[in-house]
Amino acid sequence: MPSFHHTIDIAATAQQVWAVLGDLTSVDRWIPGVTSVTRTGTGRTCTFDDGHVQQEQILDYSPTTHSYRYVIDGAPLPVRDNTGTFAVEDTDNGSRVVWESSFVPLDPAGADELARMWEPYLPVVLASLKKVVEDDAAR
């Protein structure tokens, strides 16, 4: 099962980061390709610019610890158990976002290829989040 761990430091307080990351309907601001987000009873529905729709169940949502877990159904990759966590930590110069994710490929023989496709996307998403948060904090 491929798993990933990425972090990014952001020049903003954990509360400022959480104002964006913790707003479950804001992902269209910082996940490239998301064109709309609708809140559901258990999470959110994200629509992407290529037309695909994915359901995300949000678990263990905690404003106190600035963290949540998610489970994705409908991602365009041939995977199952597509899960992850986001957490915000205080640092001396701001905060750090920690993103851990994993999935189980439907065809285990394709695990390495899927990991090579997915992993480069994670730092792009985190860089986009950083820009949104730092721009918001500068206002």
pLDDT in tens, 52-102: 999 999 999 999 999 999 999 977 789 999 999 999 999 999 999 999 999
Terminal alpha carbon distance of the chain: 42
Phi (first) and psi of residue 39, to 5 degrees = -75, 135
* CA 126 – CA 23 distance, rounded (Å): 15
- Global pTM reads 0.94
Q: Is the pLDDT of residue 51 over 90?
A: yes
What's residue 76's pLDDT? 78
Structural domains in the chain plus CATH codes: 3-138 (3.30.530.20)
Tell me the two tokens of residue 136: 């918001």
Measure the CA–CA gap between 39 and 89, rounded to whole angstroms.
Answer: 25
For the chain, the residue count is: 139
8-30: pLDDT as tens digits: 999 999 999 999 999 999 999 99
Average pLDDT for residues 132-137, to the nearest whole number? 96
Report the C-alpha gap between 135 and 128 in whole angstroms. 11
d(CA 29, CA 129): 8
